[in-house]
């Protein structure tokens, strides 16, 4: 009788232990699943990042920018790189403090120059001379038309533009439609090579490849006429600029990126800048169209004619 009771008790204990361990494992697995950020997927398994995003960072926030008379007009003298963003203005035209966006990550990922760590840009002798020349002669007024950034003539910085961006994906291609001046970038993800170096584009030629949740984009074939940003004293980059962008999809609400600016005519070694994307607030009204119209008052205001 005692033996039978012992067996039954042992069996009941085993069943109880099993019944307790199953929910505990399930809870652990559920917790792991909950901790892993959600990422939408396309049929081919790559991240689905279509939608409207706001960009932060990516600029060249130089630690020791040269002095410039443009500072009197509230314009930054350091090159903002492809990190130029919108400026918030109040009802009377004053600079307004924007509200913290709904999907702004907290804490924020790194933004701006991350290499070199001291943010002192490693100019070549030629690059520094051109930088100082533009800082002296862009203002005021500009010494000549050659010292006017192309945005005055409605040509946005390349290959990036400011403001929000709408991302569209389809097999073999991904496009970025920027809020500013209807500017568009296309990444070819179908494995095609870059065209001949003899073929040049204002915005360059970009190819991309996915590896897991990371999209690496390679941009070459730039024609050297565009600028690192808008509203600064930086000269155009050279035709030798090679831009590498690494976008990491962290979740459906966060994409981080690192831009590598490799321009041997300007820098003695590559420079890296970081930033991130977060989704636009779907509850707020749409951003107004931001377009530039050639023949506006820019030239008249600069030269007085």
For residue 294, is pLDDT > 50? yes
Model pLDDT, residue 263? 95
Model pLDDT, residue 100? 82
CB-CB contact of 244 with 262 (8 Å): yes
**Integer angstrom CA distances of residue 252 from 103, 169, 228, 247:** 11, 15, 29, 13
* Residue 25 forms part of a structural domain: no
Model pLDDT, residue 172? 94
Model pLDDT, residue 247? 97
- pLDDT averaged over the chain? 78
The kind and range of the H/E element at 115 are strand 112-115
DSSP, res 244:
E
Number of domains in the chain: 1
Tell me which of 165 and 154 has the higher pLDDT: 165
User: Which string of DSSP letters, residue by residue, matches 8-29?
Assistant: HHHHHHHHHHHHHHHHHHHHHH
* Residue 41 forms part of a structural domain: no
User: Which string of DSSP letters, residue by residue, matches 192-236?
Assistant: PPP--TT--BSS-EEEEEEETTEEEEEEE-B-S-S-S-SSS-PPP
Of 92-96, 115-119, 124-128, 211-215, give the lowest mean pLDDT range. 92-96
Of 160-164, 221-225, 236-240, give the lowest mean pLDDT range. 160-164
| pLDDT tens string 262-278 | 999 999 999 999 999 99
Alpha-carbon dihedral 123, 129, 131, 132, rounded to 10 degrees: 130
Model pLDDT, residue 134? 83
User: Which string of DSSP letters, residue by residue, matches 252-282?
Assistant: TTEEEEEEEEE-TTTBSS-EEEEEEEEE--T
Tell me which of 139 and 240 has the higher pLDDT: 240
* Residue 42 forms part of a structural domain: no
Tell me which of 269 and 131 has the higher pLDDT: 269
Tell me which of 291 and 119 has the higher pLDDT: 119
Model pLDDT, residue 70? 57
| pLDDT tens string 58-91 | 888 888 777 766 554 444 444 444 444 445 555 5
- Band (pLDDT 50/70/90 cuts) for residue 57 is confident
Domain of residue 114, residue span: 51-87+108-282+299-303
Model pLDDT, residue 105? 92
Q: Cα 45 to the chain's mean position, in Å?
A: 23
Tell me which of 157 and 138 has the higher pLDDT: 138
What percentage of the chain exceeds 90 in pLDDT? 41
* Residue 179 forms part of a structural domain: yes
For residue 214, is pLDDT > 70? yes
* Residue 213 forms part of a structural domain: yes
* Residue 46 forms part of a structural domain: no
* Residue 1 forms part of a structural domain: no
* Burial class (CB within 10 angstroms; exposed 0-12, middle 13-18, buried 19+) of 297: exposed
* Residue 102 forms part of a structural domain: no
State how far the Cα of 87 lies from the Cα of 83, in Å rounded to an integer. Answer: 12
**Integer angstrom CA distances of residue 175 from 16, 29, 223, 237:** 57, 37, 21, 23
Model pLDDT, residue 285? 58
């Amino acid at each position: 009788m005692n033996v039978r009771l012992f067996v039954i008790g042992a069996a009941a204990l085993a069943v109880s232990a099993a019944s307790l361990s199953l929910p505990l494992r399930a809870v652990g697995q559920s917790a792991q699943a909950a901790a892993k950020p959600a990422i939408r997927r396309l049929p081919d398994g790559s991240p689905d990042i279509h939608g409207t995003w706001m960009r932060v960072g990516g600029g060249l926030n130089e630690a020791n920018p040269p002095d410039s008379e443009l500072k009197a007009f509230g314009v930054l003298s350091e090159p903002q790189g492809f990190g130029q963003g919108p400026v918030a203005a109040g009802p009377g035209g004053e600079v307004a403090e924007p509200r913290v966006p709904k999907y702004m990550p907290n804490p924020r990922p790194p933004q701006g120059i991350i290499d070199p760590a001291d943010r002192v840009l490693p100019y070549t002798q030629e690059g520094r001379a051109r930088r100082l020349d533009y800082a002296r002669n862009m203002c005021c007024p500009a010494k000549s038309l050659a010292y006017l950034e192309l945005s005055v003539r409605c040509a946005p910085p390349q290959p990036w533009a400011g403001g929000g961006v709408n991302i569209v994906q389809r097999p073999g291609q991904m496009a970025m439609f920027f809020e500013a001046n209807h500017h568009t970038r296309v990444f070819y993800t179908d494995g095609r090579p870059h065209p001949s170096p003899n073929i040049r584009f204002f915005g360059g030629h970009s190819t991309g490849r996915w590896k897991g949740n990371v999209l690496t984009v390679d941009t070459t074939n730039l024609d050297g006429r565009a600028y690192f940003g808008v509203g600064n004293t930086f000269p155009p980059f050279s035709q030798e600029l090679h831009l590498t962008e690494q976008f990491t999809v962290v979740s459906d609400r966060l994409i981080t990126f690192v831009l590598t600016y490799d321009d041997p005519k300007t820098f003695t070694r590559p420079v890296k800048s970081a930033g991130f994307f977060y989704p636009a607030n779907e509850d707020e009204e749409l951003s107004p169209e931001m377009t530039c119209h050639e023949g506006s008052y820019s030239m008249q205001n600069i030269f007085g004619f």
